[in-house]
Amino acid sequence: MTLSIDQLDSDLLYPDSDGKPMAESDPTRDYLIYGVEALGNYFQDRPDVYVSGNLFIYYKQGVPDAVIAPDVFVVFGVEKKKRRSYKVWEEGGKTPTFVLEITSKTTQEQDEEDKPQKYARLGVLEYFQYDPTGEYLRSQLKGLRLVEGHYHPIPANLLPDGSLSVYSEVLGLELRLTQGELRFYTQTGQKLLSLAVPSGVALGPKEVGPHVVVNAQDVHAKAIEEGDGLGADQSRRSGDEDAQGEPPIRDAYGCRRPGSVPRGQC
């Protein structure tokens, strides 16, 4: 009897592990955990945002080798739930919108050459790389944005305190490098923390682990309350759309089109 693809679509065909022991350096592990937890906290009130990391993403049904496992990734427009692996065809064709790779000696070549090509084909709108040691990338933190099928560098800004800032349009957040340490920041300057802060990192008196949790809903509400241009403008746009009875045009990733990706709206 010949089995169909649906019948073969099992844990055997699409395993959630390659069977090899995980061996990560302290910096790689710490920042992977930080990225997943900080972004998970930030989008905790969004039921249509899935944040994960180091999870198998299968992107071609019937081709188990068509798989990739980003260190940190965010998918918009899918259900927030626990998954053992992510199968694109079971998620309405949605692929990650944002990917962060923690680059190390063993992953440098893949992160620089192979993965950008795969992510571009998959339609990943933003691809970031961070090198905790500063030994394997020319720029310790860098981002790429997909434009018409090709990646282009995202400009980096040098802040007065010497920090390097690269802005993610799809997240509506800054990725900021301060003395070699990577952190996510909101547009109001709030630092995103995780439940587990990377080892060897000292926290200030107002930055005590799980007690400082910033999420997207709170940031948006605060922006509106304080009359922030972005929050007020988004609220006006939403009201205009409702009044006209015309929903915003969005692409396959749930992002508004045309024009550049609005901050934190996809």
Residue 205 counted as domain residue: yes
Q: Which two tokens stand for residue 163?
A: 């920090």
Contact (CB, 8 A) for 192 and 214:
yes
Residue, of 95 and 251, whose pLDDT is higher: 95
Q: 182 vs 16, 100, 129, 178, 232, CA distance in Å?
A: 29, 11, 11, 7, 30
What's the total number of domains in the chain? Answer: 1
For 85, the domain range is 5-214
Residue 220 counted as domain residue: no
Residue 252 counted as domain residue: no
**Separation CA 85–CA 230 (nearest Å):** 36
Sheet hosting strand 164-168, strand order edge to edge: 156-158, 164-168, 173-178, 181-185, 191-192
Given a cut of 60, whether residue 246 has pLDDT beyond it is: no
pLDDT computed for residue 155 by the predictor: 97
Sheet hosting strand 57-58, strand order edge to edge: 67-68, 57-58, 86-87
Residue 28 counted as domain residue: yes
pLDDT computed for residue 209 by the predictor: 39
Across the chain, mean pLDDT equals: 78
Q: What is the pLDDT of residues 2-48, one digit of tens each?
A: 555 554 555 558 766 555 545 466 777 899 999 999 999 999 999 99
Residue 243 counted as domain residue: no
Residue 113 counted as domain residue: yes
pLDDT computed for residue 74 by the predictor: 98
Q: How is residue 203 annotated by DSSP? A: P
Residue 30 counted as domain residue: yes
| pTM metric for this prediction | 0.72
Residue 238 counted as domain residue: no
Contact (CB, 8 A) for 117 and 128:
no
Given a cut of 80, whether residue 49 has pLDDT beyond it is: yes
For residue 30, give the CATH number of its domain: 3.90.1570
pLDDT computed for residue 2 by the predictor: 54
**Separation CA 254–CA 92 (nearest Å):** 11
If you compute the radius of gyration of the chain from its CA atoms, what whole number of angstroms results? 19
